Chains A and B, each alone.
Chain A
C-alpha cells in the first residue's frame, strides 16, 4: 500500500488507542444538561428560550449571534431551568442554558430511521440548499476547532475550491471516536462527502486515513467503489497529520501559505469525518447537531469506551460510566494528550468540539522539570509549520512582540510537537501560545485602527465633496 505524509516536521507519540475496538455505546441521558452559548469560533449564540420553557430534543435553544456563529439545539427534552453562567473547559464562567431533563421526546421533523438516503435520490438538493441546511442545523467543524461549517462551504470569491479533503486521520493519541464512526457509519460518511462536494461544486473528494487504521481503510475502500469520485488516501502515521494544512500537504501535495491564507486558497476544503456525518444527518435526516461520538479513555480507567453522547452531558457522568476516576493524581483533558485542554472541573459539559475525555494518571499527569536549552534544535525539525520554536518561545518570554511577528508566530498551530520532542522539557508551547495571543491582539488592534482611520478619511472626503 503506497502511502504519503506531510513533508515538514512531525513527531511520533505513542498511539495508546486502547478503545479502538470497543463498539460505541449510547450514553445515558443526563439529569441536567448544560449548553454553553459559545461552542464555536465566533460570536456567542443568542438564547431564544426563557426560563420555564418546555423543550424537546432538537428544539432551537439559541440562534446564531453573527455571521461567524452557529445556532445551538437542545439534545434533551425537558424544562429550561435557568440561563446562567457556568464553568467551561477553560475554567472561566461563561453564559449557559441549563435544562432539567424530563423523558426523551423528539421534535417531529427529525427522521430517526436508519434508512440510507443517497444524494442521487434527492435532485432538489442544490448547493445553496445544502449550505442553508448545514447553517440552520448548527453544524460546526467536529475535529475540535468548531469553525462554523457553512462558512467553510462558501469560500471567498478570490479562492476557488477544487477538491474536498475529509480528515479521517485521527493522529492524536488515545482518541478513537472518528475511527469508530468510520467503522460504524461508512455509508453515511460517504453520502456526507457527496453532499459536501456538491455544496462547494467540486467533483473530487479524498478521505485521508492513517495506516494505523487498516480496517477503516479497507472498509471505506470497499464501500467507496460506488463513489468513483471519492478516493481513499492511506497516509503514514505521523502527528499532527490531522492539522488541516498538514493534511492538504499530505493528500494533494500543496502547501498552504502563511496566515491569513486558508486551505481553500490552494483549492482544498478540509472537513472532518465527524462533520461529514453530521452534514449527512442534517441535510438528509433534518437532525440538528446535538449529539456526537466521544471517546472516554485513560490507561488507568477500569472501563474505557466510546460513547454516542448528547451534548450538554457533564463529563463526570461519562467518567463514572467508565468506572470513575482512578486513584492518584489525575489530569482530565478535553481532547487528547497533545492538544487537549486540561480541565479544572469534571462538571464541564460535552460540547460540539469535544471528541474525547482523556484521563492521565500519576506520572503521565505531571510535567517533567524543565532544564536549560541545549540548542539541539530538535524542536525546529519537529515543527510542522517550519518555525523555530526555541526562538519564538524566548522572544515571547522577553515580550519582544515585534520580532515575534516577524518570525511568523501567528503561523503556529499549537500542536505541541516542539514541547513533546524537547529533551530539556522546556515549556516552549506555553510561551509561544501566550506570545501568539498577544501578537494576534496587536494585529487585530492595528487592523481596527487602520479601518477606523480609513473610514474617517472617507467620511471627510465625502463631506468635502458634498460642499
Chain B
C-alpha cells in the first residue's frame, strides 16, 4: 500500500494548495458585477437583434445600469421586449420609464408589378444593395422598392416576406418587433418605423419618390405627385409636403382618413380599418355649388382657369386617366 500513499498525499497537497490559491485569487481579483445586471438580462428577450443600438442584450443591460446612475432611462428602449420589459427594468433599477409607443415597420412603396411597369431587365446579383449601386433598377422609379429582399434577409424575426404577386415586401405585424434591421438594410430608405396606432390602425403615404410630377406620373400609377390635396384635406396639420413627397406625421394624425379620400393617386394607404375609405367623387366634393360642371367636364375647367391648380386637384376624380391631365399640365406650365 505504501506505493499508493505517497502519490495520494502529493496530489492531495497540490490540490489543497491550488484550492487555496484559487480561493484567494477569486476573492482578490473578483470582477465586481452589478447585481442588477443578471436581473436585467433576465428581463430582456435575449434576441440579440441590435435594434436598441447596443451590441446585443447584455450591452443594452450595461447601458441601462450606466443610465440609471444619471437617474433616467431616457433614450433607451428595447422594442422587442416592449413596455413590459422596460417596465421590469425600471422596477429593478428603481426608476420610472416613460410609456413608449409601440412601433411597427411599414413599407412606403406600392409599386407592384401592375402599378409600376418594368422598362428593363436586370440579371446581375439579386440583392437590393447591388442593384441600387448599379443603377435605378428595372423600373423608371429611382426611389421605389427593388424587390430583391435585403429586408427579408435582415429580419431575425421572420416578420417580412416578399409577396410573389406584387414583388413587394409585406410585414407580418404580429411578428414585427420594430428592431429596425430592415430599415437599415434597405438601400433606398423605404421602410419606416411608425407607431402601431390604436387597434393597429395606421395611415401612411406609400411613396418616397422625390421627383417632380410629370416624371413620377410616368414611372408609377400610385406615386405621390406632391399635389398637396392631402395637406388641404387634413384638419390636424399632420401632413407636410417636402422634396415633392407628402409625409404624414403619425403623432398628429387622428386616423380620419380624409387625406386618403382625396388622394388622386391612391398613394395613401391604411391598414386594419374595418371599412374601406369612401373615395370622394368630384360631384360630391362641393354639393353647395351645383353650377359646377359634371364630373367629366371638371378637368377641362381646371385647364382653362389654370391658376387654381391645388384646388383643382382636390376636385379631380379618382379616375387616374382623367386625373393625370390637369396635373401634368400644371407642372409643364
Contact = CB atoms under 8 A, between A and B. Distances in A.
Contact of B129 (A93, A329, A344, A434): A434
B130 A431 contact: yes
Interface string A171-195: 0000000000000000000000000
A91 B133 contact: no
24 contacts: A87-B140, A90-B134, A90-B136, A91-B137, A92-B136, A93-B211, A329-B121, A342-B120, A342-B135, A344-B136, A344-B138, A344-B140, A430-B124, A430-B125, A430-B134, A431-B125, A431-B130, A433-B130, A433-B133, A433-B134, A434-B129, A434-B133, A437-B133, A438-B129
A168 B89 CA distance: 70
Contacts of B134: 90, 342, 430, 433
A427 B124 contact: yes
Nearest to B219: A93
Contacts of A437: 133
B129 A367 contact: no
A85 B212 contact: yes
A345 interface: yes
Contacts of A89: 135
A396 to B, nearest CB: 9
B215 interface: yes
Contact of B120 (A92, A344, A431, A438): A344
A67 B119 CA distance: 37
Contacts of A367: 123-124
Contacts of A87: 136, 140
B215 A93 contact: yes
A327 to B, nearest CB: 16
Contact of B127 (A93, A342, A344, A434): A434
Contacts of B123: 366-367
A344 B135 contact: yes
Given A91-B137, A92-B136, A434-B133, A345 B215 contact: no
Contacts of A90: 134-136
A342 B122 CA distance: 9
Contact of B130 (A85, A92, A344, A434): A434
- 5 residue pairs, one from A and one from B, having the closest CB atoms: A91-B136, A430-B125, A427-B125, A91-B135, A344-B120
A85 B124 contact: no
Contacts of A92: 135-136, 142
Interface in A43-101: 85, 87, 89-93
A345 B130 CA distance: 19
Contacts of B121: 329
Interface string A291-310: 00000000000000000000
B130 A93 contact: no
Given A91-B137, A342-B135, 12 more contacts: A85-B211, A85-B212, A87-B140, A90-B135, A90-B136, A91-B120, A329-B121, A367-B123, A427-B130, A430-B134, A434-B127, A434-B129
Nearest to A427: B125
Q: How large is the interface on A (under 10, 10 to 19, 20 to 34, 35 or more residues)?
A: 20 to 34
Contacts of A85: 211-212, 215
Contacts of A345: 119-120
B307 to A, nearest CB: 21
B247 to A, nearest CB: 21
A454 to B, nearest CB: 27
A103 B138 CA distance: 37
B154 to A, nearest CB: 10
Contacts of A366: 123
B125 A93 contact: no
Interface string A344-368: 1100000000000000000000110
Contacts of A434: 125, 127, 129-130, 133
Contacts of A430: 124-125, 130, 134
Contacts of B140: 87, 91, 344
Contacts of B120: 91, 342, 344-345
Contact of A93 (B119, B133, B138, B142): B142
Contacts of B137: 91
A336 B124 CA distance: 17
A399 to B, nearest CB: 9
A89 B125 CA distance: 19
Interface in A220-258: none
Residue of B134, B138, B211 contacting most chain A CB atoms (<10 Å): B134
Interface string B96-132: 0000000000000000000000011101110101100
A12 B331 CA distance: 52
Interface in A421-436: 427, 430-431, 433-434
Nearest to A399: B129
A130 to B, nearest CB: 37
Contacts of B136: 87, 90-92, 344
B278 to A, nearest CB: 36
Contacts of B212: 85
A92 B143 CA distance: 9
Contacts of B133: 433-434, 437
